[in-house]
Amino acid sequence: MDNRLHEFEKGHDAFQKIKFKKSEERFKKLVSEGQNPKALFIGCSDSRVMPALITGSKPGDLFIVRNIGNFVAPYNPEANYHATASAIEYAVSVLEVSDIIVCGHSHCGAIATLFKDIKETPENIHTVKWLKLGEEAKKISLLAYKNADKETMLRYTEKISVIYQIDNLLTYPGVIKRVEEGTLHLHGWHYDIENGAIEYYDDENYEFKPLSQK
């Protein structure tokens, strides 16, 4: 029998026998006391981006939402089955996280697709609609970098998109309320897959800077 998940099964076995054992008390505490994550991490579903790995976080530290393009749809109470929105509300109003991180990344397939002519079909109807959340970032990039090479354009769009998603976060009543109270802080990050570095958005100087130098 062809078992394509064999490596995952072996990995799970090693986790249970080694890693779980090392942190068994922490897991038990997370069960008995419940979760109290430090931050909501909104990242891309890209398999090359692993939030816990790139932040060095432990179980219970991050409440994680992942979707195509690390997009945040604007607040819309009329929307049906809005998974990202419900996760934002839960993290902010129930778990009361102190920080929200929107983390984009280099070589993002969602951002690259914004610059392609994709026809809507029954097989991709949700994806095409979802990608509209990146259109404003694309428009700004085309204006600012109209003569730039493709890769420069894409890196810029990835970062500009992060800023737009933060703006969308501020349309949520619970988010804006706590931001104004000073109990919630929003962060825009961009992770470079090729060198492992993260840059953060400095909203005072309107530029991305190395997180390692913050």
Give me the pLDDT at residue 147, please: 84
Token pair 């992942």: residue: 66
Partners of 40 in beta bridges: 63, 100
Total number of residues shown for the chain: 214
Overall fold of domain 35-213: Beta-carbonic Anhydrase; Chain A (3.40.1050)
Considering the candidates 44, 155, 178, 190, report the single residue annotated as catalytic: 44
Considering the candidates 12, 13, 26, 48, report the single residue annotated as catalytic: 48
SS3 of 130-141: HHHHHHHHHHHH
Tokens (6 digits) for 179: 């931001």
Q: Please list the ranges in the chain whose pLDDT falls under 70.
A: 1-2
> CB-based burial of residue 145 (10 Å sphere; 0-12 exposed, 13-18 middle, 19+ buried)?
middle
Euclidean distance between CA atoms 40 and 96, whole angstroms = 10
Partners of 102 in beta bridges: 42, 188
Give me the pLDDT at residue 2, please: 60
Three-state SS at 188: strand
Considering the candidates 105, 155, 187, 190, report the single residue annotated as catalytic: 105
Give me the pLDDT at residue 187, please: 98
Euclidean distance between CA atoms 211 and 40, whole angstroms = 18
- The reply to whether 178 belongs to the active site is no
Residue-wise pLDDT for 140-199, tens only, equals: 999 988 888 999 999 999 999 999 999 999 999 999 999 999 999 999 999 999 999 999
Give me the pLDDT at residue 213, please: 87
Question: How far is CA 214 from its chain centroid?
Answer: 20
- The reply to whether 82 belongs to the active site is no
Considering the candidates 46, 103, 178, 190, report the single residue annotated as catalytic: 46
Euclidean distance between CA atoms 200 and 191, whole angstroms = 9
What are the two backbone dihedrals, phi and then psi, of residue 81, each rounded to the nearest 5 degrees? 50, 55
Is the pTM higher than 0.85? yes
Parse the chain into domains and list their residue ranges: 1-33, 35-213
180 Cβ contact partners less than 8 Å away, ≥ 6 residues apart? none
Cβ-contact 206, 160 below 8 angstroms:
no
- The reply to whether 46 belongs to the active site is yes
Tokens (6 digits) for 120: 């809507």
- Residue 33 sits at the vertex; the CA angle it makes with 32 and 38, to the nearest 5 degrees, is 140
- The reply to whether 103 belongs to the active site is no
Considering the candidates 108, 155, 178, 187, report the single residue annotated as catalytic: 108
